[in-house]
């Protein structure tokens, strides 16, 4: 008996880590051509090409320099397009894209996975505009071929493009400064620096005086910001080459290399850092804020609208989900007039009353109850129970516990349980409220301790829990002695 075996050879994807340059695009005037690698996202993590100009994503952090399969997106209608690029290792790679179809009512472009020979394959199973629903393993089959390669002999390089990142060498700038509260001018500690761009050392956190220091490349543009509870994303610092300052349509000043410090509801300050390898930028400001908790009788999206004091208009974040309860961290700047704008699924809009966030609500939660068109604003403030006060009742909306459990810890300066805030050291059953703001089991005999309440016998002597049986023996001895 004869058996027929059908062998299917796997199609290898084109693998890249970075694109050094786009050598040519034919036709050259195509627009909105985006390149990505590893995983499809809304961001072109390799760069984009637009009518003759290549905009590469340079100076990325090591964690973002992924090596993997290449995908391409076209947003506008265009004919068949040939691309020749140079990868980060200096290899020439060719990509062949099909003519695009009409977008009609779709808000998405057309996505393609690229094979190692440069052939393109549809990343969407409908073979048209739409968010990709095929992995490269699923897409790289004859069924989804969009355009065949004109260079079938093209293969991936034998060696993976090396990972080169980090900030070092002569072309660097050391940036020093101090992060402070914009309202009080007090230093902010434990704020962590974040950026999609490379900086050194790998982790930068402000010290107890708010001071920070980090090094960046002097060859690239980049944006850097700090994050810390009660302020959110603050203290924005940007480095930009060929920066121009305009006012009323007139060019005021140009900079070869500028450092821009942003400040909430204020004009940014610009520093010329051309030719410098170290700079102290002084104070960088973070504006304090409060969280917002919203409960209403309508399923709606919401937007926070706070009114600027030093410029025209409103601003604020929000949530597009249609729900009756919402929670947003660091959403309300202190001492600003705010209101909440709702919109239900039919497009009908609702507006809360205007509320001025209290200056002392930093780290707190502003609660809005919006029912029958009426607004009830209140502040959930810190509660610090003591041995004298005992447990204090504290009402925290369910949405707060679900969305941000850490906010509960900020409000209850003790242990929160069953709507009560217990003081540190409080004993409940065989547990006690610990410094970690949670109830934990008391310790047994001979365990190391610091306080009586840590021990099941409630007696800690010379750093050791005494057993209950030993205490009973001592009591019995005293009874016999004085009995």
Residue 131 has pLDDT above 50, yes or no: yes
Please indicate, yes or no, whether residues 223 and 183 belong to a single structural domain of this protein. Answer: yes
Please report which confidence band the pLDDT of residue 8 belongs to, taking 50, 70 and 90 as the band edges. Answer: very low
Domain end call among 286, 307, 336: 286
The three-class DSSP label of residue 476 is helix
Please indicate, yes or no, whether residues 332 and 397 belong to a single structural domain of this protein. Answer: no
Residue 150 has pLDDT above 80, yes or no: yes
2: which 2 tokens? 């004869």
Please indicate, yes or no, whether residues 243 and 340 belong to a single structural domain of this protein. Answer: no
- Does residue 108 fall inside a structural domain? yes
- Does residue 349 fall inside a structural domain? yes
- Does residue 319 fall inside a structural domain? yes
How is the chain split among helix, strand and coil, in percent rounded to 5? 10, 45, 45
Other CB atoms within 10 A of residue 104 CB: 7
- Does residue 336 fall inside a structural domain? yes
- Does residue 483 fall inside a structural domain? no
Which range marks the domain in which residue 417 is found? 392-439
Please indicate, yes or no, whether residues 135 and 19 belong to a single structural domain of this protein. Answer: yes
Tallying the residues shown for the chain, one arrives at: 483
Average pLDDT over residues 381-392: 89
Highest mean pLDDT among 78-82, 204-208, 465-469: 204-208
- Does residue 167 fall inside a structural domain? no
Please indicate, yes or no, whether residues 102 and 139 belong to a single structural domain of this protein. Answer: yes
Q: Please list, in sequence order, all residues whose beta carbon lies within 8 angstroms of the beta carbon of residue 364, skipping any fewer than 6 positions away.
A: 290, 291, 379, 380, 381, 382, 410, 411
Please indicate, yes or no, whether residues 22 and 136 belong to a single structural domain of this protein. Answer: yes
> Model-level pTM?
0.70
Residue 4 has pLDDT above 70, yes or no: no
Please indicate, yes or no, whether residues 24 and 93 belong to a single structural domain of this protein. Answer: yes
Other CB atoms within 10 A of residue 144 CB: 18
What is the model's pLDDT at position 474?
Answer: 61
Query: Do the beta carbons of residue 207 and residue 213 sit within 8 Å?
Result: no
- Number of domains the chain contains: 4
- Does residue 83 fall inside a structural domain? yes
Please indicate, yes or no, whether residues 309 and 372 belong to a single structural domain of this protein. Answer: yes
CATH of the domain at 200: 2.60.40.10
Q: For residue 273, how many C-alpha atoms fall within 13 Å in the half-sphere facing its CB?
A: 31
Average pLDDT over residues 81-110: 88
290: which 2 tokens? 């409060």
Domain end call among 131, 147, 163: 147
Please indicate, yes or no, whether residues 312 and 435 belong to a single structural domain of this protein. Answer: no
Other CB atoms within 10 A of residue 472 CB: 11
pLDDT digits (tens, 9 = 90+) for 351-365: 999 999 999 888 889
């Amino acid at each position: 008996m004869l058996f027929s075996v059908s062998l299917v050879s796997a199609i290898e994807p084109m693998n890249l880590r970075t694109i050094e340059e786009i050598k040519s695009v034919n036709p050259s005037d195509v627009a909105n051509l985006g390149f990505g690698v590893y995983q499809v996202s809304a961001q072109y993590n390799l760069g984009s090409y637009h009518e003759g100009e290549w905009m590469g994503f340079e100076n990325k952090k090591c964690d973002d320099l992924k090596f993997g399969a290449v995908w391409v997106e076209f947003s506008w209608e265009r004919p068949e397009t040939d691309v020749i690029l140079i990868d980060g290792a200096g290899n020439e790679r060719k990509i062949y894209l099909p003519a695009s179809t009409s977008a009609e009512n779709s808000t998405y472009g057309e996505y393609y996975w690229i094979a190692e020979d440069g052939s393109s394959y549809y990343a969407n199973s409908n073979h048209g505009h739409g968010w990709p629903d095929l992995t490269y393993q699923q897409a790289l089959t004859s069924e989804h071929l969009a355009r065949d390669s004109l260079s079938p002999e093209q293969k991936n390089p034998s060696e993976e493009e090396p990972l080169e990142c980090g900030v070092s060498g002569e072309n660097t700038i050391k940036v020093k400064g101090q992060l402070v509260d914009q309202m009080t001018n007090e230093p902010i500690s434990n704020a962590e620096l974040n950026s999609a761009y490379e900086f050194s050392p790998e982790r930068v956190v402000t010290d107890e005086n708010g001071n920070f220091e980090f090094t960046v490349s002097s060859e690239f543009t980049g944006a850097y910001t700090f994050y810390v509870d009660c302020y959110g994303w603050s203290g924005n610092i940007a480095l930009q080459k060929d920066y121009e300052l305009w006012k009323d349509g007139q060019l005021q000043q140009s900079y070869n290399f500028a450092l821009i410090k942003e400040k909430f509801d204020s004009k940014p300050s610009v520093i010329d850092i051309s030719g410098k390898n170290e700079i102290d930028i002084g104070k960088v400001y973070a504006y304090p804020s409060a969280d917002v908790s919203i409960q209403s009788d309508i399923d709606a999206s919401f937007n926070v609208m706070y009114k600027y004091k030093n410029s025209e208009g409103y601003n604020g974040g929000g949530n597009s989900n249609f729900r009756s309860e919402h929670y947003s961290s660091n959403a309300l700047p202190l001492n600003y007039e705010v209101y909440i704008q709702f919109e239900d699924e039919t497009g009908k809009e609702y507006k809360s009353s205007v509320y001025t966030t209290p200056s002392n609500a930093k780290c707190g939660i502003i609660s809005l109850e919006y029912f029958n068109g009426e607004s009830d604003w209140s502040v959930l403030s810190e509660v610090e129970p003591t041995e004298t006060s005992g447990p204090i009742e504290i009402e925290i909306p369910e949405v707060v516990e679900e969305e941000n459990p850490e906010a509960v810890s900020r409000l209850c300066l003790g242990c929160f349980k069953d709507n009560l805030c217990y003081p540190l050291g409080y004993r409940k059953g065989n547990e006690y409220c610990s410094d970690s703001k949670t109830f934990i089991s008391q310790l047994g005999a001979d365990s190391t301790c610091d306080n009586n309440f840590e021990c099941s016998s409630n007696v800690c002597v010379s750093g050791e829990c005494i057993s209950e049986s030993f205490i009973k023996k001592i009591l019995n001895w005293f009874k016999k002695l004085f009995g």
